[in-house]
């Protein structure tokens, strides 16, 4: 009887391993995408701060970016 169900058990174990591997790959992909998005956000904020500091001065640039985050926190 065990010889009858052993191939089915091996197939089920292989299926579980494949599903887990796919889920891990998807999770890694999301983590890489999130890290890339965070990097883009940091570069955009640094660029905006440099532009605003050249235009209005560093203190006004700090205030403008702080106000942006305040509006984002309150509205979002």
Q: Where are the domains of the chain?
A: 2-75
pLDDT tens for 34-65 read 999 999 999 999 999 999 999 999 899 999 99
pLDDT > 80? residue 3: no
pLDDT at 24: 96
pLDDT at 25: 97
| Cα–Cα distance measured from residue 65 to residue 48, given in angstroms and rounded to the nearest whole number | 8
Percent residues over pLDDT 70 in the chain: 96
Average pLDDT, the chain: 90
pLDDT band at 28 (very low <50, low <70, confident <90, very high): very high
Q: Are 54 and 64 in contact (CB under 8 A)?
A: no
The secondary structure of residue 13, as a DSSP letter, is: H
């Amino acid at each position: 009887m065990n010889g009858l169900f052993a191939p089915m058990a091996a197939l089920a174990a292989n299926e579980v391993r494949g599903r887990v591997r796919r889920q891990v790959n998807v999770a890694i992909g999301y983590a890489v995408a999130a890290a890339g998005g965070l990097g883009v956000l940091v570069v955009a904020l640094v660029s905006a701060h440099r532009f605003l500091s050249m235009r209005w001065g560093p203190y006004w640039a700090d205030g403008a970016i702080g106000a942006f985050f305040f509006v984002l926190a309150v509205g979002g």
